């Protein structure tokens, strides 16, 4: 530690001496070593501007080439393609505009670099020009914002009466997820954090006296969803802010302690179908190749099979990175069979007596 402090002191002293010599140099009037940029400096800076332009374009091309396939791939929900379109259109527009404006900016900096005796043109203003460069971004941005708002309203318009949805509660806590199905009556029973009873395994604090709660089904390991059926998620959190993130379904909603938030989507691709998806297969292959390399280095990792996941997308604590739940999207019959095999909350409480 003392050695480290000594080094820091020495470095600071060196910087101080260097700064003092600079000040001393500046205070001397020397005409041959002027601080004013000459033609050679300006030319060099002009070329550096060009060089920087080439650098950012190359960086873009390499990024696309190397990581272009890291996007999420086929969306697995009804609204997914609508959501993807909004993002692709916005990105394409930004990309197009930035390619042109960066080229112009750096080219002009190069073309009009300082030259001895050359004087900049004094050009006060031009109403027509200002109108054009104001109105074009205004129209483009207004279009994008309206399109975004339209898509957002479409996604967030959750109608519980329409399309026979199933109601599922997602319950977040440090650091896991639990899912509660509303059962045959499709109404979730009341719940409160004060009613949590670990001895009876009532981990969600479901109200035993509420008749709607009797047929509720709690799953602590997997979230099963029937394909093609609208799902309305009601999110709760026990402790801090979490965020239910289901990237393959293009869905995310914050889970806020003390309130219920909601999100709805219709899954369109079963787990089996997604496993057969070509883009997904190449991703899985890539991951398994990395895992094989780690295995070769003596690490204990299995090869991976694709599964949908529910992740937490808010940094909620030390094990946030591992706060996830497997999602299984399956045919209606398979879903019903799975549901049949689960214990209802009423049965669970009866057996806990």
Binding site for Cu ion (CB under 5 A): 242, 312, 316, 323
To the nearest whole angstrom, how small is the minimum distance from the Cβ of residue 248 to Cu ion? 19
Closest to Cu ion by CB, 50 or 175: 175
Give the contacts of 315 (CB within 8 A, at least 6 positions apart).
Answer: none
To the nearest whole angstrom, how small is the minimum distance from the Cβ of residue 255 to Cu ion? 8
Q: What is the side-by-side order of every strand in the sheet holding 176-181? A: 217-219, 176-181, 166-173, 231-237, 261-265
Closest by CA position to 308, among listed 265, 270, 258: 270
To the nearest whole angstrom, how small is the minimum distance from the Cβ of residue 239 to Cu ion? 9
Closest to Cu ion by CB, 192 or 322: 322
Closest to Cu ion by CB, 218 or 323: 323
Q: Are the C-beta atoms of 192 and 315 separated by less than 8 Å?
A: no
Closest to Cu ion by CB, 177 or 308: 177
To the nearest whole angstrom, how small is the minimum distance from the Cβ of residue 188 to Cu ion? 21
Q: What is the C-alpha to C-alpha distance for residues 111 and 50, in angstroms, rounded to an integer?
A: 10
Between vectors from CA 140 to CA 138 and to CA 144, what angle results, nearest 5°?
A: 115
End-to-end alpha carbon distance in the chain: 62
Cβ–Cβ contacts within 10 Å for residue 210, how many? 16
Closest to Cu ion by CB, 316 or 325: 316
To the nearest whole angstrom, how small is the minimum distance from the Cβ of residue 230 to Cu ion? 26
Q: What is the C-alpha to C-alpha distance for residues 220 and 179, in angstroms, rounded to an integer?
A: 6
Q: Are the C-beta atoms of 106 and 55 separated by less than 8 Å?
A: no
Closest to Cu ion by CB, 95 or 321: 321
To the nearest whole angstrom, how small is the minimum distance from the Cβ of residue 79 to Cu ion? 24
């Amino acid at each position: 530690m003392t050695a480290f402090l000594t080094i820091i002191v020495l470095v600071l002293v060196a910087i101080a001496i260097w700064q003092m010599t600079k000040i001393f140099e500046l205070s001397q009037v020397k005409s041959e070593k002027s601080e004013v940029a000459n033609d050679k400096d300006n030319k060099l800076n002009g070329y550096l501007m060009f060089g920087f332009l080439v650098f950012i374009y190359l960086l873009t091309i390499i990024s696309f080439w190397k990581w272009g396939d890291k996007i999420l791939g086929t969306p697995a929900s009804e609204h997914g393609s609508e959501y993807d379109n909004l993002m692709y259109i916005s990105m394409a527009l930004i990309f197009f505009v930035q390619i042109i404006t960066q080229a112009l900016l750096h080219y002009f900096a190069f073309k009009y670099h300082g030259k001895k005796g050359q004087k900049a043109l004094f050009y006060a203003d031009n109403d027509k020009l200002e109108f054009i460069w104001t109105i074009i971004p205004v129209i483009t941005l207004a279009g994008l914002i309206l399109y975004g708002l339209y898509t957002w309203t479409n996604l967030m318009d959750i109608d519980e009466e329409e399309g026979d949805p199933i109601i599922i509660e997602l319950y977040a806590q440090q650091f896991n997820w639990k899912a509660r199905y509303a059962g045959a009556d499709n109404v979730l029973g009341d719940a409160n954090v004060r009613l949590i009873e670990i001895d009876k395994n009532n981990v969600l604090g479901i109200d035993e006296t509420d008749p709607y709660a009797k047929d509720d089904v709690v799953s602590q390991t997997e979230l099963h969803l029937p394909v093609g059926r609208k799902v309305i998620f009601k999110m709760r959190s026990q402790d801090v802010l979490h965020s239910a993130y289901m990237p393959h379904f293009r869905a995310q909603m914050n889970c806020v302690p003390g309130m219920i938030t909601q999100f709805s989507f219709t899954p369109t691709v079963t787990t089996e179908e997604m496993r057969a998806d070509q883009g997904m297969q190449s991703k899985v292959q890539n991951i398994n190749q990395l895992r094989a390399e780690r295995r070769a280095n003596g690490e204990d990792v299995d090869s991976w099979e694709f599964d949908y996941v529910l992740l937490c997308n808010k940094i909620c604590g030390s094990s946030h990175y591992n706060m996830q739940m497997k999602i299984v999207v399956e045919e209606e019959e398979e879903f019903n069979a799975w549901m049949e095999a689960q214990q209802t909350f009423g049965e669970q409480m009866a057996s806990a007596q």
